[in-house]
Every structure is written in C-alpha cells, then in structure tokens.
Amino acid sequence: MRLVSNPPNPFESEHREFLEPPPQVRLQVFEDAAREILSRNDSPDLPFRWSLNPYRGCFHACAYCYARPTHEYWGFGAGTDFESKIIVKQNAPALLRRAFDKPSWKGELIVFSGNTDCYQPLEATYRLTRACLEVCAEYRNPVGIITKGALVLRDLDVLGRLSREAWVRVYLSIPFADDSVARRVEPQAPSSSRRFETLRALSEAGIPAGISISPIIPGLNDDDIPELLTRAKQAGAREAMSVMLRLSGNVEPVFLERMAAVFPDRIGTIIHRIREVRAGKLSESDFFSRHEGSGPYWRMIEQLFEISRRKTGFPGDSDEPVPPTFRRPGAEQTALF
C-alpha cells in the first residue's frame, strides 16, 4: 500500500453527506494495488457468493460494524484506525472488467458493500463505485447494494440502466428510528431521516429498494422495528430484512466502550439483553446462529418484526431467482457469424 500524502478532501464536492460541520477526524488515505476485486464468499448462511468493496475501512464509524477486524489484516486497529485510515482500490474498475472477460465468469450476482460501505464520503471524489457499476451495466451483470450513503442518488442513471437491462436491488441500512440515537452509534453516517429520503428518491426513480434493519441490538433498537418498517413502506420500499448484532473479534471491545460512553444509563440493559439472546454470551460465530438469537426475548423480537412486516405489507422471505442477464459487449453481434 502507498500512503496518499495529501488525499482529496471528501467534503469538497457537490455531493455532500453532511449538513453539519464535518467531524474532527484526521483522515489518512492509502492506495492498494489490488490484484483482484471480487471477494468470494464461502459462508453457507449468506445468500450471495461474490462481493465487491472498492474501499477498506469506513468513515461512517458505526460502533457495531462487523468489518472492523478485517482492518487488522493490514496492520491497522479495529477502532479509530478503521474509520480514519481508509484504503482505496484505485484499479477496481479495471480489475472488474478483467474478471468479466474471463471465460469462467458466468454473470453471478455481485453485492457491493459486502464488507464496508461503497458510498462512504470518499466515493464523492474517487467515484470507484460508480465506475464499477458502469462496468456492471455494460456487461449486464446483476448487482445488489447495501449502503447508508445518500450519495447513491448520484448514480440513479446507472442504476436505472441496470434495472432495465439487468437486475439491481438497493438496500438502505437504517437500524434506528431516532436521529439522535443513530448519531451516537453511527456518528459519521447520514441521519436516519436522510436515509429515508434517499429510499424514497430511489423508489420514485423506479429503482427496486428495501430497508435493512441491521443490526438489531437488543435493549437498544428492537422497539424501533414497527416505526422503521412503517416509514420504509411509506417511502416506497419493496422489501425488508434484519440481522442480529455480531460482536466478533475486536468489534466487542470497540462496541462496548462506545456504547458505555454514549448510553451510560442503558449500557447495563443492552449487555443483559445481548447475553439473554446469546445464551449468556456476547457473540456467536457459528454459521446460521450468528445472524439471529435464541430464547424468549429473541422470539419476541422475531414476532414483533413478523407482525410489523405483515401489517405494513412487506412480503415474506423471497427466494426470487436472479435472472441470467450477463452479456459480454459485442456477444450478440459475434453470435451472428
């Protein structure tokens, strides 16, 4: 990796994530000469095999982010390093095009932000997510996106092309109904209100969109589920999903330290509820079990989500197949000869 001595200012752009003054964070940007851009997922409890992450680390600084330990692979810390030392894969679009040109690539779904948010503020300057989406549109490769970033609206034209000619789904991650609570847990991400506005704009533009109430943090945001689903449906969301909090590796001390600082009167309840749905533990790493809890309190949360889902009119779990839309440019003409 190479440190960029004077990285582009992520706020000097017409695409602004913050209406407030930018947080006082000393941002360092590193360039990674990556050799591949598609990450293969072999976890049996995830519904996709391939993910694409133009950035490592995430400026949004969400206390609960499960990707924090991946920063340790690069010699950085899982705490403040994760949100202030961002690694940029400048050659991501070229690597993606090279992957698509390989005969072995058959056009499977690619999920953007399988690890860190592809629409964090640096994307306003680097535009790597947009360039990769343009490659996907050119090859008609199906795309899924999970983000907190309102910057996704900049790319409505590319998303529209993907919707018409291939397949695309955009999920807005909105785990908190109250903006002030969200700001304490996700200090540098757009407000929940702004994310709902983004969800509405996507829906009005004809882009299939949904809400991800993730993570569910027992004792903190489980009561928000009905309001979140209602507001998402009113904003035009077509689908809804949720995932239980994961505190793997050094996510646990980062999360607990930050929750104790911003919720001193609730930290005891939060820890108690997490242990209650994790059979006395704070984390679970086993496949399938890691994304949900157990016990009476967790069943109550599941019932609350299910009742609210039905009341608001969201469909249940869908195994809708992703259509085989992938085409290499010029393949139609070549087939004529």
**Which long-range contacts (C-beta less than 8 Å, at least 24 apart) are formed by 69-73?**
69/248, 69/249, 69/250, 69/251, 70/115, 72/249, 72/250
pLDDT tens digits in sequence order for the chain, 337 residues long: 666 554 555 555 444 445 555 556 689 999 998 899 999 988 776 777 899 999 999 999 999 999 999 999 999 999 999 999 999 999 999 999 999 999 999 999 999 988 899 999 999 999 999 999 999 999 999 999 999 999 999 999 999 999 999 999 999 999 999 999 999 999 999 999 999 999 999 999 999 999 999 999 999 999 999 999 999 999 999 999 999 999 999 999 999 999 999 999 999 999 999 999 999 999 988 887 778 999 999 999 999 999 999 999 999 876 678 999 999 998 654 444 4
Question: Residue 337: inside a domain, yes or no?
Answer: no
CA–CA distances in Å: residue 247 to residues 101, 255, 281: 38, 8, 10
Domain containing residue 108: 2-315
Question: Residue 309: inside a domain, yes or no?
Answer: yes
Q: Can you list the alpha helix ranges (DSSP code H) found in 235-266?
A: 251-262
> Phi/psi zone of residue 127: left (φ > 0), alpha (ψ -120 to 50 degrees), beta?
left
The whole-number pLDDT of residue 337 equals: 42
C-alpha 255/C-alpha 248 separation (Å) is 10
- Which pTM value belongs to this model? 0.90
CATH number of the domain within which 225 lies? 3.20.20.70
The whole-number pLDDT of residue 1 equals: 66
Backbone angles phi, psi at 215, to 5 degrees: -90, 155
Closest to 51 in 3D by CA, of 114, 121, 100, 132: 114
| Residues with Cβ within 8 Å of residue 86, at least 6 apart in sequence | 27, 28, 29, 30, 55, 56, 57, 58, 59, 120, 122
CA gyration radius, the chain:
20
Residue pair 137/113 in contact (Cβ under 8 Å)? The answer is no
Count how many domains the chain has.
1
